[in-house]
Amino acid sequence: MTPVCPFVKASRPDDGSPRKPGECPIKHGAEHEGGGKAKKESSGESATVSPKCPFGYDSQTFKLGPLSCMICQALLFDCSKCVPCSHVYCKVCISRFKDCPLCGADVEKIEADTDLQSVVDRFIDGHARIKRSHVDMDKEGEAGENKKVIYEDVSLERGAFLVQQAMRAFRAQNVESAKSRLSLCAEDIRGRIETVGNTSELCSQLGAVLGMLGDCCRAVGDAGSAVTYFEESVEFLSKLSAADLEITHTHSVSLNKIGDLKYYDGDLEAARSYYMRSLNVRRDAIKHHPSVSSQTLDVAVSLAKVADADRSIGNEDAALDRFHEAIKLLESLTLKPEEAGLEQRRLSVLKFLKNQLAEKQSD
């Protein structure tokens, strides 16, 4: 039997699609499914399940498979095999257990599984990363065709897939795995920016990914690296238009996170400075989008952060002024029926602000 790549669907005798033998079905899955659906509808036959990648990675969803860790539910990172049962997990994940989570066998020792890790890495390179080499092709027509397929459609899905894997790993406290996936994502987005320029979408994506990398560093206590990532995100996003809500939000959140790290480090003046910068970004955003209720909530939160820093420094009068301003904003905010989800947040922030004033009065 001719060897077939484990990531592709081998052609079957009843498979009438134009796919070449051994070719990955992800490229043609959507159009094959659409063609099949049309044929079924015209012939009156019942619909059948569309072709899927045999490892569960189809073009629409991600499913746990042989390349995923059953503990963190993300792609395997630093693959490690339990002895004697041979079940495989991420090293960080299985190191927390004395018994195999799948079979219950005692874990006598853990061995690296470099072969399977190599397969995972090849999967990421082939199915999850943006293939920037296509942009440098000599034939302009071929490059344009590849650019349309990879950069406008697949590349966005692939970037989102890497972020999804990073967030699953981060949720399971496998921070190194999350950092690895996010670093690949950031590298690929930078490559796209070098090719197509600083588009609003790409800049927002990179700023968000850098912010997530900062969160990873903060989670393991590496405040210095976290600040570096957040500052890089801020420096990058500050060059873009303040009229873009997504970019403005990412920019202000990164500033607040730096402020939080400075605050916890005891540098209150620096914390206040970053909180103030975030507040100014959000005030500018309201000028461009005065009818967006979430922007008013964001401004109120920033006012509370600046006020808290003012109070910690000893500027009580300034703190009270900002608390009152934030309360006035929230009490005058009228939410539309479709914005009902913001009401709980509004009430929560309002309660916090009033408690701050009540504490002062009780003193």
Q: What is the pLDDT of residues 267-292, one digit of tens each?
A: 999 999 999 999 999 999 888 888 88
For residue 282, being part of any structural domain is answered with: no
Residue 187 lies in a domain: no
Sorted by sequence, the CB contacts under 8 Å of residue 165 that are 6+ apart come out as: 74, 75, 128, 177, 181
What's the CATH code of the domain at 357?
A: 1.20.58
For the chain, percent of residues with pLDDT exceeding 90:
48
Domain annotation covers residue 348 = yes
The amino acid sitting at 209 is V
**In a 3-state reduction of DSSP, which class is residue 58?**
coil
Domain count, the chain: 2
93 or 124, which is more confident? 93
pLDDT confidence tier of residue 195, bands split at 50, 70 and 90: confident
Are 215 and 253 within 8 A, CB to CB? no
Amino acid at residue number 26: I
Question: What is the pLDDT averaged over residues 165-176?
Answer: 93
Task: At 156, list the tokens.
Answer: 């966005």
Convert the pLDDT of each residue in 340-360 to its tens digit.
889 999 999 999 999 998 876
Range 228-251 average pLDDT: 85
pTM of the model: 0.69
List residues bridging with 68 in a β-sheet.
Answer: 75
Residue 45 lies inside a defined structural domain of this protein: yes
Q: Which domain, by its residues, includes 33?
A: 1-58
b vs e for 222-246, b when ≥16 Cβ sit within 10 Å of the residue's Cβ? Answer: ebebbbbbbbbbbebbeebebebee
Average pLDDT score over residue span 74-101: 94
What is the residue-wise DSSP string for 233-287? HHHHHTTS-TT-HHHHHHHHHHHHHHHHHHHHTT-HHHHHHHHHHHHHHHHHHHH
Say which range, 91-105, 154-168, 242-256, 328-342, has the weakest mean pLDDT. Answer: 154-168
Confirm whether 285 is domain-assigned.
no
Whether residue 108 has pLDDT greater than 50: yes
Residue 241's pLDDT band (cuts 50, 70, 90): confident
Task: Give the pLDDT confidence score for residue 49 in this predicted structure.
Answer: 53
Instruction: Name the more confident of 22 and 162.
Output: 162
Look at residue 239 and tell me if it is in a domain.
Answer: no
* Residue owning tokens 């909180």: 275
- Residue 141 in this model has a pLDDT that exceeds 70: no
Confidence of residue 134 (pLDDT cuts 50, 70, 90): very low
The predicted model gives 166-173 an average pLDDT of 93
- In the chain, % helix, strand, coil (3-state, to 5) comes to 65, 5, 30
In the listed set 58, 77, 94, which residue is the last one of a domain according to the structure?
Answer: 58
Tell me whether residue 231 is in a domain.
no
Listed residue (131, 127, 125) closest to 146, CA to CA: 131
Average pLDDT over residues 4-14: 42
Lowest mean pLDDT among 42-51, 149-158, 167-176, 187-196: 149-158
Q: Has residue 359 been placed in a domain?
A: yes
Retrieve residue 86's tokens: 């041979």
| Domain termination site, one of 20, 41, 58 | 58
Which range (117-131, 268-282, 295-309) has the least confidence?
A: 117-131
Average pLDDT on 170-195 reads 92
Final residue of a domain: which of 22, 38, 58?
A: 58
**Which residues are bridge partners to 99 per DSSP?**
106
> Which tens digits make up the pLDDT trace of 29-74?
444 444 444 444 444 444 455 555 544 445 555 456 678 899 998 9
Please, how many CA atoms are within 13 Å of residue 2, restricted to the half-sphere of its CB?
5
